[in-house]
Structure 1
Amino acid sequence: MIAEKLNASAKTFCRHRLLRCLHQLRLGVIHMAERNSYHVVPGDDVWKAEREGSSRASSVHDTQAAAIDAARGYLSRSGGGELNIHGKDNKIRSKDTIDPGNDPRNTPG
């Protein structure tokens, strides 16, 4: 009987907490977590895999392909996300959504 009352109290508490969080989210008091993103960018004779918002590179590689493979691995192990690949001119030349990230488009690629 005591266990049943505690279980009912826990369900009520969780429901109220969820509703409060949803309300705060609608008001803009709290924000959804930012997307998990990595950028492959050129450096001085190297290619770097950088997490978006980080002050330093996650890893440094001799080739762009190696940096892309590393960034794909980081994203797939951390729940997926967006991979932004920059060219030598530092402009984004391609983007890829790594599973289980959320692809903003419905088309493959």
Structure 2
Amino acid sequence: MSNQDPEKIKMGKLESQEEQRVRGTIVLGIDPDGGEAVHFKNLQIDDASESTVYLAADADLERSLCLGELKQSSGTFKMPVPFGTNTMPYNTVVIQDKSSEESIAVVYL
């Protein structure tokens, strides 16, 4: 992401929902391996269960793109955005608990 135009990078801090404790930074930007990706930096989800990650317009899951299951609840990693996806409409990342379908974190980019 070092060669990316800073004006095209979308970044935000995680905001916890209710009692769930979530920390870290999320960046939507160029993936060095090609295309775009959602980059999680220093993510920490306390009491994490199976979760799904969405790229959404205004945190609305009806206007979202499912990026798949969150494979880890801590650390620094990325989730690729499907190649060719227009990411301009998406301004939030939502992490949803898979079993309860409750949003455990929303980050505004």
Per the normalisation by structure 1, the TM-score is 0.27
**What TM-score, normalized to structure 2?**
0.27
Which structure is higher in strand share? 2
For the pair shown, which has the larger CA radius of gyration, 1 or 2?
1
Structure number with the bigger relative contact order (C-alpha 8 A, sep ≥ 6) is 2
Query: Which one has a larger percent helix, Structure 1 or Structure 2?
Result: 1
